[in-house]
Structure 1
Amino acid sequence: MGREVVVEVDGLRIDYGSFVAVHGLSFSVRAGEVFGLLGTNGAGKTSTMDVLEGYRRPAAGSVRVFGVDPAQQREKIAPRVGIMLQEAGFFDDLTVLESIRAWRRFTAEPMGLDEVVDLVDLGKVAGTRVGKLSGGERRRLDLALAVLGRPELLFLDEPTTGLDPQARRRTWHVLENMVSQGMAILLTTHYMEEAQYLAGRVAIMDRGRIVRHGSVDEVIGADHGSTITFTSDAAVPIELAGVAEDGRRYETSSTDPQGDLHTLLDWAYRAGVRISDLEVRRNSLEDVFLKVADEADLATTAKER
Structure 2
Amino acid sequence: MRLDERDRFEAREEFGFHPLTDLGLTQVILDNRRTISRVQSRLLVPSSFDTDDGARTRRVQIFGWDMAQRVHGNIMECVFTKKFRGLNVSQLMQKTWANDMRLGEFKKVKGETSRLEVLQQVNPNAYVLARDVMSPTEDISTFRSVFVRFLIETSKKIPLSRATSAPTVIDASAPSTPPQYADSDSDSEELMLNATGYVLGTQSFDTDYSRNPREEDIRNKVAWAHLSLSIEFLNVVNPVTGEEYQQLRWSGRTDYCGPKHAQRNASDMMQGMLRWEMLVIAPALNLVSLSIE
Same fold (TM over 0.5): no
Structure holding more helix per residue = 1
TM-score range, shorter-chain basis?
Answer: under 0.3
Structure holding more strand per residue = 2
Structure-2-length-normalised TM-score: 0.24
